[in-house]
Amino acid sequence: MLACLFPGQGAQSAGFLHRLPAHRVVKDTIDQASAALSIDVLSLDTADALRSSVAVQIGLVVAGVASARRLAADGFDIALCAGLSVGAYAAAVICGAIAFEDALALVKKRAELMEAAYPRGYGLAAIDGLTEHEVEVLAADLARDCAIRVYVGNVNAPRQIVVAGSDEALEAFGARALAAGAHRAKRLDVSVPSHCELLAAQSAELSSYATGIAFHAPRALYIGNRRARALRAPEAIREDLATNMRYTVRWFDALTSIVELGATVLVEAPPGQVLTSIAQFTFPDVPALSACATPDERLIAILRKRLARNLQ
Residues 137-167 have pLDDT tens digits of 999 999 999 999 999 999 999 999 999 999 9
Q: Quote the pLDDT of residue 311.
A: 61
Task: State how far the Cα of 210 lies from the Cα of 39, in Å rounded to an integer.
Answer: 22
Question: What gap in Å lies between CA 260 and CA 8, rounded to an integer?
Answer: 23
Write down the pLDDT at residue 292: 94
Q: What is the mean pLDDT of the chain?
A: 96
Cα–Cα distance, 76 to 191 (Å, whole number)? 36
Residue 36 has pLDDT above 60, yes or no: yes
pLDDT digits (tens, 9 = 90+) for 183-222: 999 999 999 999 999 999 999 999 999 999 999 999 999 9
Q: Per-residue pLDDT averaged across 28-51, rounded?
A: 97
**Nearest in space to 261 (alpha carbons), one of 286, 239, 238:** 286
Tens of pLDDT, residues 63-118: 999 999 999 999 999 999 999 999 999 999 999 999 999 999 999 999 999 999 99
Whether the predicted pLDDT of 312 surpasses 80: no
Catalytic annotation, residues: 85, 195
Band the pLDDT of 308: cuts 50, 70, 90. confident
Averaged pLDDT, 225-238: 96
User: In the prediction, which pLDDT does 199 show?
Assistant: 97
Amino acid at 166: S
Residue 46 has pLDDT above 60, yes or no: yes
Spatial contact of 199 and 114, defined as CB atoms under 8 Å apart: yes
Q: How many CB atoms lie within 10 A of CB 203?
A: 20
Q: All domains of the chain, ordered by start, with CATH? A: 2-116+197-311 (3.40.366.10), 122-187 (3.30.70.250)
- Alpha carbons 242 and 224: distance in angstroms, whole number: 11
DSSP string over 73-124: HTT--EEEEEESTTHHHHHHHHTTSS-HHHHHHHHHHHHHHHHHH-SSSEEE
The count of C-alpha atoms lying within 13 angstroms of the C-alpha of 181, restricted to the half-sphere facing its C-beta, is: 7
